Structure 1
């Protein structure tokens, strides 16, 4: 959308088709489409960097490196092995976007800190391939440092004390940063996840607790720019946000207790939160 070039839409199209192919059981086709999607995504960011050669854009370019590396490696290794690379891509993409949206509140040192944290995340995620025990703990430390930086310096701490959209936005951001910190702590303390419980926590804390919470936070701000339709804030948007984080808490409690009923309930509630978010967003757009 920012590049305003038709070919750039191939990146999300290829990634979406890759995901659908995987769901349909066409595993090899899905993997190849993901590689092409990640490569196209990297070209989009490179084109943006050529137009605006700034450190923030350079970090976004860097975020595509672990994504493309993970997509290529998935042809020969399992997802468990490339998980730090996948998470580094998501963390860097979102952290760079937050630094771009909140440059004034993050302070003059925000960009150098982001560049340093981004370098640490990519190096640690890459190192986990060669030295899993050390690399995963270093990745956990870098993830925890990123979460602490965002929690301390982002404007979300002030927004949550206001009302309306700003309070909703601030609450979603803070909750997402908290889950990112949980994942970093699990990586740091446990290293390579030694069981299903630790693996379940780091996967869902980052991709749902952090990633989806960021999507919910920015939906009323970013979706209108992309879709060309208004998506005004409505109090009903608190429902999917609350369900998401309540479901994740139940899921983690279930992991600690050895799965069972809390884990099952938490899994269902997180699914309901995504459905409720889609329904709420659609309702808000139609009403607008």
Structure 2
């Protein structure tokens, strides 16, 4: 296989099933039999792991690279069948393959941001190994956060290399990452929580200070939307770190401020660029309606986390429901606009040929 079109349906299916599982966990009476207890592993591994590894497989352009997102993507069927251990093993194999994939890319381009992303892949692998061994989410989830944080930080570091560099900029980035990683080595409900949260805050401050988003927010169109999404994500990363420092009872708020607030804001930012790239479309979709989905995501997440912190379960439930609906609406908008723009571009390129004929 050397075609992302066969894997994208797995990505979409994983998102659908993982989101439905999340709604069931919140108590919504959805008449579908889904393994609700595995919502986290499906969202991080079956969906995000497949999406991220597929993006890199497209860059490598080798048949073997596509086996990695296939492994993680097919885990969703075993989760659905409640064969959880088999799904865990598939995700573990995929995370090992993803680490090898990044090392292959690092050998071609020995750059610092690739080392950061390799660190993220290793975090994913460790989290999955802990889950296979113990089948306890609390042991794995901090490492999954490390996977996504280092992956995103590595990608933003890659883009920030076009900005002026300094010794302090490089040193502060490495220090922030090192503090975060140190926090992973201690139990979350203890010293690890404080170090972990401090690392999240320092990475968030670094991204806000040095990312190109602070410059591109002054532009227009898609560039400005991407910057707005990134800055929203950095805000939630700071909130997540602060919640870690405040109390170890804010576990649900910590998880969703990171995975929805930070990670999905990043997906909103990169979606109009990554999706056409994976589909090999020339168009980069943009429409002002994207802001409706972006701000809707932020407001619904505020509602959800406020309900979680205040113990108002109905607010948490409604916020979670709207979170998922907005994510689907946004992704459908991107796909629809990308296809329409691509068809228009093709029609425009063929017009001179029709006139000449």
Taking structure 2 as the reference length, the TM-score comes to: 0.74
- The match for 2:275 is 223
Q: Tell me, yes or no, if structure 1 residue 104 matches structure 2 residue 157.
A: no
Which shifted more, 98-107 or 33-42? 98-107
| Higher mean displacement: 262-271 or 174-183 | 262-271
1:154 match: 211
Please report the RMSD computed on the Cα atoms of aligned residues, expressed in angstroms: 1.7
Distance 2:182 2:213 in 1: 28
Structure 1 residue matching 2:203: 3-state secondary structure: helix
Q: Is the 8 A contact 1:232 1:284 kept in 2?
A: yes
Where does residue 204 of structure 1 map in the other structure?
256
1:111, distance to aligned residue in structure 2 (A): 4.1
Residue 335 of structure 2 is aligned to residue 282 of structure 1: yes
Match of residue 178, structure 2, among 112, 119, 124? 119
| Matching residue of 1:18 | 75
Q: Structure 1 CA distance, aligned partners of 2:324 and 2:140? A: 25
| CA distance in structure 2 between the aligned counterparts of 1:13 and 1:111, rounded to whole angstroms | 36
- Displacement, 1:50? 1.2
Q: Which of residues 147, 150, 155 in structure 2 aligns to 1:92?
A: 150
CA distance in 2, matches of 1:16, 1:243: 28
Is the counterpart of residue 234 in structure 1 residue 292 in structure 2? no
SS of equivalent to 1:105? coil
Matched, 1:243 2:243: no
1:66·1:89 contact (CA, 8 Å) conserved in 2?
A: yes
Contact 1:253 1:262 (C-alpha < 8 Å) held by counterparts: yes
For 1:67, the equivalent position in structure 2 comes to 124
The 3 A distance-change label for structure 1 pair 11 and 231 is: same
Q: What is the match of residue 258 of structure 1?
A: 311
Moved more, 179-188 or 73-82: 73-82
- Which residue in 2 is equivalent to 1:53? 110
Determine the C-alpha separation between the residues in 2 that align with 1:72 and 1:247: 33
**Residue aligned with 2:86, SS:** helix
- 251-260 vs 140-149, greater mean Cα deviation: 251-260
Gaps of 5+ in 1: none
SS across alignment from 1:74: helix
**CA deviation digits over 1:230-288, x for unaligned, max 9?**
23211122222122111100001111221333222211110111110121012112211
The Cα shift of 1:106 comes to 6.4
Indicate if the aligned counterparts of 1:205 and 1:248 stay in contact, CA closer than 8 A. yes
Number of corresponding residues: 281
Gaps of 5+ in 2: 1-57, 342-357
